[in-house]
C-alpha cells in the first residue's frame, strides 16, 4: 500500500462508520482481528514495511490508531469498539511478541474513551480444535522461552486495559461465562455461534435453559438453513 492508499483506506473506514450510524446502528466495531488488513499491519512476520507504518511496535500499530482516531472524530468514541485476536494464527498472523505488540495497541486505545475493547480467547481458532490450538500456544511459549500463562489467557491484556470495558469471545457456553466475569478477566462475554442456534439466547442464559446445538457446516453456506430456522426455546419443545 502506498501512503495515498493508506489515506484512502482510512477514509473508507470513516465512510463505512458514518453509513452505519445513518442506518440506525448504535455503534460500530473496528475489525482488527483474524488476519485481515489492520491485523496484518500489527504482525512483524507479515508487515515488512520500512516507513512510518512498519519496523517498530509503535509504527506497526500506527494504522490501527489512525483508523480508530478518524472514526472517533466522525461518530464519537462512545460509538466505537475494536476487536483483536492476539492469539490467532488465521492467515498466518504470528507476531514475535504477542503481548508486546497487541498490548501496546490496547494501551494506546485505552486512553481514547472507546465503548469497549474486544479480545478473542486464546482457545478459539478458526481452523483447529481447542486442544490443538492450546497445544500450539504451549509450543510457542516453550520455543520463545516465555510463560505459558501469557499465551493461554487474556489476563495480560486485562492488566493493560484499565479504563475501557474489556469484553471477550470464544468457546463460551452456559457454564463458563459467569466465572470469567467473577474472576474479573473481562467485563462482558460475547456469544457468536450459540447466538446463531439460539435466537433467544439471553433468555435461555438468564433462566438456565438448555442451549440448542449449532451446525458449523451451515455457518457460511448459501443454502436455506443455518441462520434463521433455529426455533426459540418454547417452540423447540412443542
18, 29 contact by CB (below 8 A): no
Q: Grid coordinates 512498519 are at which residue?
A: 54
Nearest to 97 by CA among 43, 54, 133, 135: 43
pLDDT at position 238 is 35
Q: What is the pLDDT tens value at each position of the chain, 238 positions in all? A: 999 999 999 999 999 999 999 999 999 999 999 999 999 999 999 999 999 999 999 999 999 999 999 999 999 999 999 999 999 988 889 899 999 999 999 999 999 999 999 999 999 887 778 898 899 899 998 999 998 888 999 999 999 999 999 999 998 999 999 999 999 999 999 999 999 999 999 999 999 999 999 988 888 777 777 778 888 997 655 3
**CB contact set of 158 (below 8 Å; sequence gap of 6+):** 166, 184, 185, 186
The CA-atom distances, in angstroms, between 196 and each of 138, 226, 229, 236 are 31, 8, 9, 15
pLDDT at position 235 is 63
Mind telling me the catalytic residues?
Answer: 36
Answering whether pTM is above 0.75, one says yes
Domain ranges of the chain: 3-164
- C-alpha 24/C-alpha 20 separation (Å) is 7
- C-alpha 211/C-alpha 71 separation (Å) is 37
- C-alpha 64/C-alpha 52 separation (Å) is 13
Taking domain 3-164, whether its CATH number is 3.20.20.70 is answered by yes
104, 51 contact by CB (below 8 A): no
119, 34 contact by CB (below 8 A): no
> Starting at the edge strand that comes first in sequence, how are the strands of the sheet with 80-84 ordered?
28-32, 80-84, 116-120, 166-169, 188-190
Amino acid at each position: 500500500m502506498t501512503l495515498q492508499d493508506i489515506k484512502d483506506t482510512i477514509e473508507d473506514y470513516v465512510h463505512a462508520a458514518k453509513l452505519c450510524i445513518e442506518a440506525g446502528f448504535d455503534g460500530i466495531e473496528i475489525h482488527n482481528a483474524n488476519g485481515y488488513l489492520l491485523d496484518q499491519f500489527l504482525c512483524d512476520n507479515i508487515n515488512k514495511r520500512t516507513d512510518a507504518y512498519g519496523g517498530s511496535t509503535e509504527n506497526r500499530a500506527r494504522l490501527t490508531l489512525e483508523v480508530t482516531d478518524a472514526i472517533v472524530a466522525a461518530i464519537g468514541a462512545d460509538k466505537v469498539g475494536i476487536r483483536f485476536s492476539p492469539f490467532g494464527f488465521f492467515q498466518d498472523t504470528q507476531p514475535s511478541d504477542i503481548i508486546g505488540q497487541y498490548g501496546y495497541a490496547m494501551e494506546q486505545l485505552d486512553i481514547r474513551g472507546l465503548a469497549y475493547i474486544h479480545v478473542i480467547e486464546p482457545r478459539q481458532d478458526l481452523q483447529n480444535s481447542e486442544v490443538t490450538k492450546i497445544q500450539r500456544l504451549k509450543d510457542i511459549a516453550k520455543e520463545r522461552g516465555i510463560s505459558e500463562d501469557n499465551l493461554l489467557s487474556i489476563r495480560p491484556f486485562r492488566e493493560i486495559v484499565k479504563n475501557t470495558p474489556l469484553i471477550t469471545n470464544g468457546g463460551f457456553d452456559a457454564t463458563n461465562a459467569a466465572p470469567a466475569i467473577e474472576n474479573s478477566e473481562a467485563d462482558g462475554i460475547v456469544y457468536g455461534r450459540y447466538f446463531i442456534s439460539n435466537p433467544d439466547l439471553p433468555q435461555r442464559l438468564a433462566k438456565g435453559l438448555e442451549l440448542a446445538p449449532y451446525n458449523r457446516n451451515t455457518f457460511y453456506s448459501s443454502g436455506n438453513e443455518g441462520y434463521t430456522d433455529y426455533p426459540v426455546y418454547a417452540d423447540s419443545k412443542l
